[in-house]
Amino acid sequence: MITHIKHQENTYTINLLQPLDISIPLRASSENVNAWYLSPPTIEPVTNGDWIGKVSEGASTNFNNILFNPHAHGTHTECVGHITPEFYSVNKLLTQFFCTAEVISIQPEKKENDLIVTKKQIQTAIRSNPQALIIRTLPNTIKKCDKQYSHTNWPYLTEEAAHYIAELGIKHLLIDLPSVDKEKDDGKLLAHKAFWKYPEHTRFEATITEMIFVNTHINDGEYILNLQIASFENDASPSKPVLYKVLSSE
């Protein structure tokens, strides 16, 4: 199904029948991707006395409760409400779901005991003027889909890099790590604050999506992004970002 999406002065042609899903599915398993020192998610049938909400146990339907944390257990999209004392809902602030995007691949640089993504690396990698920037860190393996991130000191964006991305006018930042910030940073959250320009010039329309997985068969370059979230009234929601290759633009 071929369709056309217009952004500013350009019209982009995509095939809706060829989606590229860059989300990580949530599973009730110890092998589910995990961060922030939490137990794995659980998906369990409701019980009420002798009744169990499971067809194989005699119920007419499968009827499960799901316990998970969007920040720790998979692909999620968050708004500035993640770091503010006031409540802001990603379901209210994210109102446009299709946008132009660019995928870039970056090998984080070594700095003392850390691995960092720098402003210079992003400057070198970006080739277009996208609304969304998707950062794939290298090396890129399927292990990102079940990695146990707690206490691993994962790579992160420098404050300068996040500020630069915001200055480019990029509204949506997506990355294949549990956070754009250092795992243990004493609550500074420098990259989050720089990207959202919080608190002086807060960009309420901007979002950060973490824990994606961009398969190696997806090339760097321009795409159309469909950023889908569940309708949670919360600072963050589990999400399903989907890319569409640009067939032509004019």
> Residue 127 pLDDT more than 90?
yes
Separation of alpha carbons 151 and 185, rounded Å: 12
Separation of alpha carbons 57 and 43, rounded Å: 16
Instruction: Band the pLDDT of 76: cuts 50, 70, 90.
Output: very high
Homologous superfamily of the 2-24+74-249 domain (CATH) = Putative cyclase (3.50.30.50)
Query: Can you name the residues that pair with 44 across neighbouring β-strands?
Result: 65
pLDDT at residue 1, as a whole number: 84
What does the pLDDT average to over 116-124?
A: 98
pTM exceeding the 0.95 threshold for the entire prediction = yes
Separation of alpha carbons 7 and 205, rounded Å: 17
Cβ atoms 79, 89 nearer than 8 A: yes
Give pLDDT tens digits for 163-207. Answer: 999 999 999 999 999 999 999 999 999 999 999 999 999 999 999
Instruction: Band the pLDDT of 94: cuts 50, 70, 90.
Output: very high
Cβ atoms 11, 246 nearer than 8 A: no
Q: Hey, where are the domains in the chain?
A: 2-24+74-249
Separation of alpha carbons 146 and 149, rounded Å: 9
